[in-house]
């Protein structure tokens, strides 16, 4: 598919870009003014920029990333980030063990065979790099036994490493759950689908009476979900105006500093500050604040009283009772009073809490159908858009384009790049689209949305990049192939498996360049953070006036697991699929995960700041996706060994069966402790028992919590009345 | 397939047999001496045989069965039996509503069409009864719209009735769970996979310390499972000898009654009482008892002390705590300390309790594979046996057969019937085989084994009777068809669906006679109980001497759900599959379920005595099987409408999708309350709280419980030491 020179050109280009970016990083990261870009997480943990920059260098970051302990990683990035770094460790181990056999034994076998040369007489499409792959071994050769053995080796190695890793992560999660650190979510449960209250009851009375009966002595109080959308909107508006006010004041102070009385900043109130009446900014924003603050108070009171919904957080006096309550069927009608483990306060998605179960089921079904269609037919809207954006069409839609069309060169360029542009824009927007779809399912926590998005994106990426390029590219390329697919009499399972076997091996070198491009360029960019750096310096120089604005300019955000995990998983899928067929890919995949391992650890330690913490619940997801990748690879090999007319191919059927069995064993053994807090852990003594007030406060949304004039009495409407304290050390809130 | 005369001959013969059996029943059931056969359940509930016989008659039993209330049925046969009768109600409702459209609208449409007559010129295989089926409507006719509508009607009717029924059963189950009747299982949980205790600990100490920590204040004590196999064997032997002793004493008394000193009964101690020394029976059995009783004591003590296993029942002070504990993940290693809701004491399978989870998983996998092979290839061992039992083979194995072979007529008969005999024996043994396989999975309760067997038998019966006769009969009949199947290029999903469509309709009349045969003969036999009656009278006259022996002779046993449910379900499957294609079957299926409804209610009230009670947990199973039948019928219709070249067939694809969706909705809504005791129910106040001693006693196996000399102190070894009583009304056992 790729010639030898193209293959090396691609590799070398990627490598050169990577080296340049690494050099850039080692230069830039030494400058103190850049510390906010390269060490934001450290700075937020209280370290001083000058100290951080001193030690920076090409090898120091590698040494630091390499020698960081698990405890350090968890301390800096939380358990979720540690789990993500551990995914790299696991992938690396699997690939290294696989390479021991595949690279050392299989490549020499391939090189000493001459199938490609023999076939070359007939068909002149192979390149020398293909001699390192299984395609070079003649059909029915006894040498194929070695490849069969390798297939088993790779599968067993994967099982072994995954088992060890799941156990390790599981132990680590349990340590974290038992730890002395106070976790409000361990004292709360999320109650959804609360039925309509009786006429004389408020929601909180209803929840109180129900839970007090079912959990006598341990139930404390509840916090009913309200429709806070309006209050939140007002709250955010006020926060924005406060920032603008600060900015205006800073501008005024600066102008004073230059001598004289200073110039009071002004702006226009209309669209984008371009039109409308000119006003004094400080006065205007002060006025606005005075106007909006009482509105927010009013809205708060109204929402808490009138907008109570059918969901609530219930708080318990000890973690044991909360853990127990979260796992138990409460109502005989199982769709009512559904009780779940509470998500961490930071990751609650308030707008989803009160969505009734029927709506959630319907939304989920619709989202699944939409995602299925996106995965399968994502090219169609792109083609439609590019058809729509041909110049002829644009001319009729936007008449002013006519002038441009007259310039011939421009026309050619636009016509060539418009479809690609549409594709690039679509692919860039896809994660956000999938995220929005996952959120629309009615999932109550951000970490869960992230996992759901990750799953959807994984299917999209594996189906379209991997399967898409290899198989469907071939089938749909010609109309004849498409017709054959439609006349489904020819489309049997064995036919599809055979197709896998035929179409995949020639693509190995293509995918090797893909992996190399991905890690050299991708990692180079994410290590050097050049884009973030440039934006930060521009913003700081021209826009930011206040401390808060500067902080917002360098805020690194959190690791976006929902795009990272599927992308890494694609490399894993490629590596596993080609590990036996074209073992050379293992070398590049190992490089990918090795450099990735260093860079991700560096970023967890220095850069990204976690937004929420799910306690490593991404791991079961990662484990299952690696198994899915293994499963695909086993099916692929079944096809390829069949094409090689090797009579013992039938032995390979055992592998996918074992993979499925292993999946279930993992699920039964480890998953329950991820889905629920085991009672044995919840029953452990705690050093410090948090006050109920602090837990309730953690769960109250910001827009309902702030405001000094806010009366506590009103607030008590949405919370329940306190039960008389029983035996815990929790004290009532004021 | 069947000619008109053969069809009617079959129907009439079945009807005649049925009428004869019903007349027999109405005569026989009036005789007081037969009351023990026709009213055993009533007698066990304390009614007197003469009162029962007085009211017997042809119509009285119908009136009684018809007018029995749900409460009566539950009182006489338990909730499980009521659920089984309610299955008939549900099936009847579904079929009646379906018939409203299918019989009334579709049959006239079929009769007024002439497709069969038109085709008859070419192919002379149809019979007049087929004119009542969809086959008589010409291809592509607009009349097919009515059939399409009917397909939707049947599906919606099924959804509606199933939903209503599930709700009804659910409510009824919850009423039963809340009821004042003491249920020991509500105060206990089953703990399995207890890890190895520490060296100094006994099992009961281990369970005590673990549960007392995790359930402080509510955990009471435990009963560790022991290996009681030896003790049970001894216990059963002693019970048998006691019966024999009583028998011998009764014989002695009888001979005394005839005048003189009487003759002391004697018997030989060897094989079958035919050889060996002649002994005085009474002395001999007395001697044996004296010898065995201390052995049992010794074995009891030993088992309780040394044979404690890794499973236990843990008892709680209130049902709420037990319900909560049974649903919660206890250990971080989810495979250890697995806690389940306790089964009813009567249905505990002690030998399965301590099977470790790894073994259970392995056993389950093996059993599934074995069942899969039985379902798929059940004909092969039969053919093998019949080949082995051809006379030529038998001659070499059993030389004495040679004499028989010489008689020509006998040879012919034997050779003709041996294969059928093998088949009949296999089919008769199959339920027991499946039962044994289900038990071998390691399931801890009899009701669960019964459900598991029912599922396996359902697949066997649907696959072999229904699909086997219709499709595979056609494919495998000729070697060509088989070859086509092997060369799988021709075997696509659409091909199989088409095959369904082509092969099913001509078989409708065959299945109608099958249904008729089944209900006329089967119900006739089970109503008249002639076999049981004859055996009872023979035994009473010639064998039974003591009261206990007579009771054993008329003991009716319990309803065998594991064979009944799949058999009825087969009729349901047939009825749903043909409801649209050949609506006449509905008439017979309605008759089947109507008469069945009466007879089953009669039997629940009068005959069968429940062995255990699972609280109606058969219902989810029944619901899902009916949905499976509906699913098969929808796929069938898809094929048949396709064969009719009806362009709107594509609309039918919505139906199987809806069925799957409905399955999930049912599962989410109702199943949790069947799988677990909802907390809201467990928290209801109880009128009477049972003593802990009585609960523990209920769970102690008979062979460990009886024996007056048995020291309580020893018994305490396997039970745990009592915790200090907390706040419940339960008193310690002595």
Let me know whether A393 and A494 are in one domain.
no
Tokens 């697991």 identify what position? A561
Return the closest-CA partner of residue B298 out of B721, B711, B696, B699: B711
A494 lies in some domain: yes
User: Chain B contact for A727, CB < 8 A?
Assistant: no
Find the residue in A nearest to B674 (Cα): A332
Let me know whether A646 and A587 are in one domain.
yes
pLDDT value of residue A504: 58
User: Chain A contact for B365, CB < 8 A?
Assistant: yes
CB pairs < 8 Å spanning A and B:
112
pLDDT value of residue A732: 35
Beta bridge mates, A190? A313, A340
Chain A contact set for B490 (CB, 8 A) = 489
Q: Is B581 exposed, middle or buried (0-12, 13-18, 19+ CB in 10 A)?
A: buried
In chain B, how many H helices and how many E strands?
Answer: 34, 6
Low-confidence ranges of chain A (pLDDT < 50): 1-2, 121-125, 472-473, 475-482, 488-490, 708-717, 721-734
Chain A contact set for B209 (CB, 8 A) = none
User: Chain A contact for B357, CB < 8 A?
Assistant: yes
What one-character DSSP code corresponds to residue A340? E
Let me know whether B267 and B370 are in one domain.
no
Examine the fold and report which residue of B631, B660, B676 is the final residue of a domain before the chain moves on: B676
ipTM score of the complex? Answer: 0.80
How high does pLDDT run on average in chain B? Answer: 80
Let me know whether A422 and A497 are in one domain.
no
Beta bridge mates, A267? A279
Q: At what angle do helices B584-606 and B508-528 cross, to 10 degrees?
A: 20
Note whether A492 contacts B489, CB cutoff 8 Å: yes
Q: Does residue B395 register a pLDDT over 90?
A: no
pLDDT value of residue A257: 74
> Which one of A334, A495, A683 has the shortest CB-CB distance to B670?
A334
Chain B contact set for A727 (CB, 8 A) = none
Cβ contact A35:A43 at 8 Å:
yes
A225 lies in some domain: no
Note whether B491 contacts A490, CB cutoff 8 Å: no
Q: Does residue B232 register a pLDDT over 70?
A: yes
Percent with pLDDT over 90 in chain B: 25
Range B646-656 burial, b when 16+ CB lie within 10 A, else e:
beebeebeebb
Note whether B327 contacts A328, CB cutoff 8 Å: yes
B432 lies in some domain: yes
B509 lies in some domain: yes
Q: At what angle do helices B654-675 and B618-643 cross, to 10 degrees?
A: 180
Q: Which of B678, B682, B726 to mutate to test the interface with A (most CBs of A within 10 A)?
A: B678
In order of A108, A130, A649, B226, the CA distances from A149 in angstroms are 15, 21, 11, 46
Q: What confidence tens digit (pLDDT) does each residue in B495-547 have?
A: 666 665 655 556 666 677 777 777 777 888 888 888 888 888 888 888 877 77
Let me know whether B489 and B628 are in one domain.
yes
User: Chain A contact for B495, CB < 8 A?
Assistant: yes
Residue A612, helix vs strand vs coil: coil
The DSSP annotation for A421-468 comes to HHHHHHHHHHHHHHHHHHHHTT-SBHHHHHHHHHHHHHHHHIIIIIII
Note whether B333 contacts A669, CB cutoff 8 Å: yes
Q: Does residue B445 register a pLDDT over 90?
A: yes
Q: How far is B341 from chain A (nearest CA, A)?
A: 12
SS (H, E, C) A541-566: HHCCCCHHHHHHHHCCCCCCHHHHHH
Q: What confidence tens digit (pLDDT) does each residue in A548-569 have?
A: 788 888 888 888 898 889 889 9
pLDDT value of residue A340: 93
Note whether B334 contacts A671, CB cutoff 8 Å: yes
Examine the fold and report which residue of A441, A469, A504 is the final residue of a domain before the chain moves on: A441
A721 lies in some domain: no
User: Chain A contact for B191, CB < 8 A?
Assistant: no
Note whether A673 contacts B213, CB cutoff 8 Å: no
Let me know whether A271 and A363 are in one domain.
no
Let me know whether A164 and A235 are in one domain.
no
Note whether A673 contacts B492, CB cutoff 8 Å: no
pLDDT value of residue B121: 46
Distance CA B259, CA A6 (A): 117
Q: How far is B163 from chain A (nearest CA, A)?
A: 13
Note whether A329 contacts B334, CB cutoff 8 Å: no
Distance CA B130, CA B127 (A): 6
A214 lies in some domain: no
Find the residue in A nearest to B495 (Cα): A489
pLDDT value of residue A396: 63
Q: At what angle do helices A144-178 and A618-643 cross, to 10 degrees?
A: 180
User: Chain A contact for B665, CB < 8 A?
Assistant: yes
pLDDT value of residue A390: 58
Note whether B332 contacts A673, CB cutoff 8 Å: yes
* Lowest-confidence pick of A290-294, A721-725, B436-440, B562-566: A721-725
List the end-to-end C-alpha distance of chain A, in Å, as a whole number: 73
Residue A279, helix vs strand vs coil: strand
Let me know whether B540 and B640 are in one domain.
yes
Distance CA B472, CA B103 (A): 29
Distance CA B681, CA B363 (A): 35
Number of domains in chain A: 3
Q: How far is A528 from chain B (nearest CA, A)?
A: 41
pLDDT value of residue B305: 79
Find the residue in A nearest to B672 (Cα): A334
Chain A contact set for B329 (CB, 8 A) = 327, 672-673, 675-679
Find the residue in B nearest to A661 (Cα): B365
User: Chain B contact for A660, CB < 8 A?
Assistant: no
* Side-chain half-sphere CA neighbours of A581 within 13 A: 30
User: Chain B contact for A658, CB < 8 A?
Assistant: no
Chain A contact set for B214 (CB, 8 A) = 320, 679-680, 683
pLDDT value of residue A119: 63
Let me know whether A25 and A134 are in one domain.
yes
Let me know whether A433 and A488 are in one domain.
no
In chain A, how many H helices and how many E strands?
Answer: 35, 6
> Which one of A170, A329, A491 has the shortest CB-CB distance to B673?
A329
Q: Which two tokens stand for residue A684?
A: 């452990």
Q: Under 8 Å CB-to-CB from B704, ≥6 apart: which residues?
A: B226, B228, B231, B300, B303, B304, B715, B718
Q: Is B270 exposed, middle or buried (0-12, 13-18, 19+ CB in 10 A)?
A: exposed
Chain A contact set for B361 (CB, 8 A) = 664-665, 668
Q: Does residue B90 register a pLDDT over 90?
A: yes
pLDDT value of residue A584: 85
pLDDT value of residue B667: 92
Q: Does residue B463 register a pLDDT over 50?
A: yes
Distance CA B85, CA B630 (A): 20
Chain B contact set for A488 (CB, 8 A) = 492-494
Beta strand pairing call for A188-192 and A278-280: unpaired
> Which one of A174, A328, A357 has the shortest CB-CB distance to B679?
A328
Return the closest-CA partner of residue B607 out of B573, B646, B556, B572: B556
The DSSP annotation for B26-43 comes to HHHTTSGGGHHHH-HHHH
Return the closest-CA partner of residue B193 out of B328, B78, B317, B333: B333
B74 lies in some domain: yes
Examine the fold and report which residue of B408, B441, B474 is the final residue of a domain before the chain moves on: B441
Residue B594, helix vs strand vs coil: helix
Other CB atoms closer than 10 Å to residue B561's CB: what's the count?
A: 22
Chain A contact set for B213 (CB, 8 A) = 683
What one-character DSSP code corresponds to residue A112? T
pLDDT value of residue A94: 96
Find the residue in A nearest to B657 (Cα): A365
Q: What confidence tens digit (pLDDT) does each residue in A635-645 have?
A: 888 877 877 77
Distance CA B232, CA B239 (A): 10
Domain range for A406: 358-441
Q: Give contacts of A 301-340 with B, CB under 8 A.
A: 320, 323-324, 327-335, 337
Q: In what order do the strands lie in the sheet with B308-316?
A: B219-226, B308-316, B188-192, B338-341
Distance CA B205, CA B201 (A): 6
Find the residue in B nearest to A672 (Cα): B334
SS (H, E, C) B681-718: HHCCCCCCCCCHHHHHHHHCCHHHHCCCCCCHHHHCCC
Distance CA A684, CA B392 (A): 75
Chain A contact set for B679 (CB, 8 A) = 214, 328-330
Find the residue in B nearest to A657 (Cα): B365
> Which one of B213, B361, B681 has the shortest CB-CB distance to A683?
B213
Let me know whether B428 and B491 are in one domain.
no
Residue-level length of chain B: 734
User: Chain A contact for B254, CB < 8 A?
Assistant: no
Find the residue in B nearest to A323 (Cα): B328
Q: How far is B600 from chain A (nearest CA, A)?
A: 29
Return the closest-CA partner of residue B655 out of B163, B157, B164, B165: B157
Let me know whether A612 and A551 are in one domain.
yes
pLDDT value of residue A387: 60
Tokens 């560096």 identify what position? A602
Between A586 and B121, the higher pLDDT residue: A586
Q: Under 8 Å CB-to-CB from B286, ≥6 apart: which residues?
A: B245
A226 lies in some domain: no
Distance CA B242, CA B289 (A): 8
Q: Which of A211, A216, A334 to mutate to test the interface with B (most CBs of B within 10 A)?
A: A334
Distance CA B454, CA B90 (A): 18
Q: How far is B202 from chain A (nearest CA, A)?
A: 20
Where do runs of H (alpha helix) occur along A607-685? Answer: 618-643, 654-669, 671-675, 679-682
pLDDT value of residue B701: 83
Q: Give contacts of A 149-188 with B, CB under 8 A.
A: 170, 174
> Which one of B214, B489, B668 has the shortest CB-CB distance to A679?
B214
What one-character DSSP code corresponds to residue B445? B
pLDDT value of residue A392: 61
Find the residue in A nearest to B358 (Cα): A665
Chain B contact set for A170 (CB, 8 A) = 332
Q: How far is A125 from chain B (nearest CA, A)?
A: 30
Distance CA A421, CA A445 (A): 34
Where do runs of H (alpha helix) occur along B441-507? Answer: 446-461, 473-477, 479-486, 493-503
pLDDT value of residue B709: 38
Q: Give contacts of B 469-488 with A, CB under 8 A.
A: 488
């Amino acid at each position: 598919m790729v010639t030898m020179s193209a293959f090396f050109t691609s590799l070398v280009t990627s490598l050169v870009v990577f080296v340049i970016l690494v050099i850039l990083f080692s230069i830039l990261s030494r400058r103190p003014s850049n510390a906010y870009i390269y060490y934001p997480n450290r700075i937020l943990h209280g370290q001083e920029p000058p100290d951080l920059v001193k030690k920076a260098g090409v090898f120091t970051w590698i040494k630091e990333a390499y020698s960081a302990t698990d405890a350090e990683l968890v301390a800096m990035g939380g358990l979720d980030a540690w789990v993500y770094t551990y995914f790299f460790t696991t992938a690396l181990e699997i690939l290294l063990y696989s390479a021991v056999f595949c690279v050392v034994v299989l490549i020499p076998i391939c090189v000493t065979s001459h199938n490609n040369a023999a076939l070359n007489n007939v068909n002149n499409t192979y390149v020398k790099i293909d001699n390192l792959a299984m395609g070079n071994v003649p059909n029915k050769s006894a040498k194929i036994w070695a490849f069969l053995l390798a297939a088993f080796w790779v599968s067993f190695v994967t099982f072994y490493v995954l088992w060890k890793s799941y156990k390790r992560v599981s132990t680590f999660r349990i340590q974290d759950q038992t730890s002395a650190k106070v976790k409000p979510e361990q004292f709360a449960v999320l109650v959804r689908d609360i039925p309509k209250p009786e006429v004389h009851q408020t929601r909180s009375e209803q929840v109180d009476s129900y839970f007090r009966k079912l959990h006598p002595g341990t139930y404390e109080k509840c916090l009913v979900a309200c429709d806070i959308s309006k209050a939140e909107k007002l709250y955010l508006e006020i926060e924005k105006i406060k920032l603008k006010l600060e900015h205006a004041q800073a501008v005024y102070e600066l102008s004073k500093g230059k001598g004289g009385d200073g110039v009071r900043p002004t702006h226009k109130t209309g669209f984008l500050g371009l039109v409308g009446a000119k006003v004094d900014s400080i006065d205007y924003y002060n006025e606005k604040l005075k106007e909006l603050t009482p509105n927010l108070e009013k809205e708060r009171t109204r929402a808490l009283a009138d907008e109570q919904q059918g969901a609530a957080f219930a708080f318990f006096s000890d973690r044991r009772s909360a853990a127990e309550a979260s796992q138990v069927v409460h109502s005989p009608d199982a769709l009512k009073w559904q009780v779940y483990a509470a998500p961490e306060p930071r990751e609650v998605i308030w707008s989803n809490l009160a969505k009734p179960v029927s709506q959630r089921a319907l939304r989920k079904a619709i989202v699944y159908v939409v995602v299925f269609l996106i995965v399968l037919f994502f090219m169609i809207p792109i083609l439609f858009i590019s058809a729509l954006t041909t110049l002829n069409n644009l001319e009729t839609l936007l008449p002013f384009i006519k002038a441009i069309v007259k310039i011939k060169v421009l026309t050619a360029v636009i016509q060539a790049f418009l479809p690609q542009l549409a594709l690039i824009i679509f692919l860039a927007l896809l994660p956000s689209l999938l995220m929005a779809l996952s959120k629309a399912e009615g999932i109550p926590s951000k970490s869960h949305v992230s996992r759901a998005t990750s799953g959807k994106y994984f299917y999209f990426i594996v189906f379209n990049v991997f399967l898409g390029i290899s198989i469907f590219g071939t089938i749909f390329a010609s109309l004849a192939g498409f017709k054959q697919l439609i006349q489904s009499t020819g489309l049997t399972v064995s036919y599809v498996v055979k197709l896998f076997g035929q179409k995949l091996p020639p693509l190995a070198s293509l995918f090797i360049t893909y992996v190399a491009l991905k890690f050299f360029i991708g990692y180079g960019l994410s290590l050097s953070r050049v884009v973030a750096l440039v934006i930060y310096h521009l913003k700081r120089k021209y826009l930011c006036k206040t401390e808060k604005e500067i902080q917002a300019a360098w805020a690194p955000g959190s690791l976006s697991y929902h795009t990272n995990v599927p992308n890494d998983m694609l490399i894993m899928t490629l590596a596993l699929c080609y590990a036996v067929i074209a073992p050379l890919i293992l070398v590049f995949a190992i490089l990918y995960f090795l450099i990735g391992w260093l860079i991700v650890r560096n970023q967890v330690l220095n850069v990204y700041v976690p937004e929420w913490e799910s306690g490593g619940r991404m791991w079961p997801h990662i484990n299952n996706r690696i198994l899915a990748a293994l499963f695909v690879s086993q099916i692929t090999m079944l096809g390829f060994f069949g094409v090689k007319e090797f009579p013992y191919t039938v032995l390979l059927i055992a592998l996918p069966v074992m993979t499925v069995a292993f999946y279930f064993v993992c699920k039964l053994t480890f998953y329950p402790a991820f889905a629920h807090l085991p009672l044995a852990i919840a029953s452990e003594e705690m050093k410090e028992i948090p006050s109920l007030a602090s837990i309730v406060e953690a769960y109250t949304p910001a827009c309902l919590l702030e405001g000094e004039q806010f009366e506590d009495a009103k607030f008590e409407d949405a919370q329940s009345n306190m039960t008389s304290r029983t035996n815990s050390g929790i004290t009532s809130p004021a």
